[in-house]
Amino acid sequence: MISKGDRILIALSGGPDSVALLYSLAFIREKYSLDLYSIHINHRIRGEEADRDEEFSVFISNKFNIPCAVVKIDVPAKAKELKISEELAGRQVRYDEFQKYAFKINASKVATAHHADDRTETIFMRIIRGTGSIGFSGILPVRENFYIRPLLDISKSEILSLLSAENLSFCEDKTNRSSDYFRNKIRNEIIPIIKDCNPNINKTISDMASILSEEGDFISTVAKREFLSVSHEKEDKIYLDLEKIKKLHIALLRSLIKITLLKICSDIDFDSCESVISLIDSEVGKKIVLKDVEVFRDYDSLIFSHRRNNKEDNIFYEKIFENGLFVDSAGIAFYSNILTVLPDCILEGGMTAVFDYDKISFPIYIRFRKNGDYFIPFGMKGKKKLKDFFSDEKVPLNLREKVPLLVDSSSKILWVTGYRISNLVKVTDSTKKFFIVRAEKKVKEELYAKF
């Protein structure tokens, strides 16, 4: 979760949980040689109270000699624009701003103040909405090796005891008392009743979540192994051997079908998986059509294929500015920066790319692939068709149409996001300016909860 020398950005609301987080990290700062920053998001929802929280967050950060950035965003307006709830809009805004500022200061981690009660509430929310073993994992201690939750095994009562013992003040958000929001209704009305029956519900839920998560991981691991023995790909289609999959236990079969669907499409639910399973015992020639996939029942196989849109509909251009602009393309957020010195905490590879600024022909854009695309992969001298590159890299069929490409003003590919940069823009010993782009997948929290 934390390594010596980490630069950590602390998400600071001014409430008791985030103040306890700020204090705890400041307490171990010297021992771990941490470089700490904080960020406060003013959601513009609670008027003077929100301004009070902002002022307090700056004050408490200064008290511990931690620089504090303040961002003001009109979340109600954002919610109306996106046609989503203020609760969801606020969460989206917070993580967008955390990511942007972390990139700006080259932070290696972002710390949030989720605690044991939060995890319990999240799991009950998922139970009410419908969930399976993955959904029972709740809030993860570390996500994407970037977001960390140091207080996740600490209860709310323990946090309040710490603040009292250390005589630390904090702000109280009055909206937390309202049950208008789904999470607050769980927190204020349902959890207290459950705690009357089981005062140790946090530990009970945590233990149960661990068991179900581990069992889910085991089934998933076995299903991935089975997938290799019952499937083959041909002409952008996946074939599952009917005779073999009929012998599988339903839990293993369900996981295997999920694995297959996720190779074709990105958004599935429990009902989609069950409809594919029902196709196994149906008559030959029957077909079901889901959002992005078609499944056909042949004589001896289930055949999965991607439903392709008009090719021109899948090509778009969106400009990325040279420094700091955020764009959201195909569920991926992009953050760019220009540096004259490359910090040690920037790790190239995966979802971060580092280029020689002077070798790029600006402006640059994000787009999807089109026929005839090619580039010169890092480490190679000759060009390679993008289709062949995807095949060599074993990029899942559903992603080949959705992998964003970073291109220059002449549409030359600079980066196949998450895979490889072009050899033409690589950094060398003579590089004077570094152009850094980080991409972050914006996965819906509840997307796969039903599994």
Fold agreement (7-199, 311-441): no
Q: Is the pLDDT of residue 328 over 70?
A: no
Task: Give the pTM.
Answer: 0.63
For residues 181 and 84, give the distance between their C-alpha atoms in angstroms, rounded to a whole number: 13
CA dihedral 170, 172, 173, 177 (to 10 degrees): 150
* Architecture (CATH level 2) of domain 7-199: 3-Layer(aba) Sandwich (3.40)
CA 427 distance to own-chain centroid: 28
Q: If we measure between CA atoms, which residue out of 18, 201, 178 comes closest to residue 98?
A: 18
For residues 260 and 239, give the distance between their C-alpha atoms in angstroms, rounded to a whole number: 9
β-pair partners for 109: 8
Categorize the per-residue pLDDT at 134 as very low, low, confident or very high, splitting at 50, 70 and 90. low
263-301 pLDDT, tens digit each: 877 567 778 888 999 999 998 888 888 877 889 998 899
Categorize the per-residue pLDDT at 139 as very low, low, confident or very high, splitting at 50, 70 and 90. confident
In terms of DSSP bridges, do strands 147-148 and 142-143 run parallel, antiparallel, or are they unpaired?
antiparallel
pLDDT score recorded for residue 59 = 96
pLDDT score recorded for residue 443 = 45
84-110 pLDDT, tens digit each: 888 788 888 888 889 889 988 989 899
Of residues 72 and 44, more confidence is placed in 72
205-306: what CATH class? mainly alpha
Q: Which two tokens stand for residue 125?
A: 């929310």
For residues 289 and 307, the answer to whether their CB atoms sit within 8 Å is yes
For residues 292 and 227, give the distance between their C-alpha atoms in angstroms, rounded to a whole number: 20
User: Where do the domains of the chain lie?
Assistant: 7-199, 205-306, 311-441
Q: What percent of the chain has pLDDT over 70?
A: 86
pLDDT score recorded for residue 172 = 84
pLDDT score recorded for residue 341 = 80
Of residues 389 and 45, more confidence is placed in 389
Q: Is the pLDDT of residue 38 over 90?
A: yes
For residues 439 and 331, the answer to whether their CB atoms sit within 8 Å is no
Q: Which two tokens stand for residue 200?
A: 């140790």
β-pair partners for 384: 375
Q: What is the CATH number assigned to the segment(s) 311-441?
A: 3.50.40.10
pLDDT score recorded for residue 370 = 83
Amino acid at 240: L
Amino acid at 21: L
Q: Is the peptide bond before 377 cis (omega within 30 degrees of 0)?
A: no
For residues 413 and 375, the answer to whether their CB atoms sit within 8 Å is yes
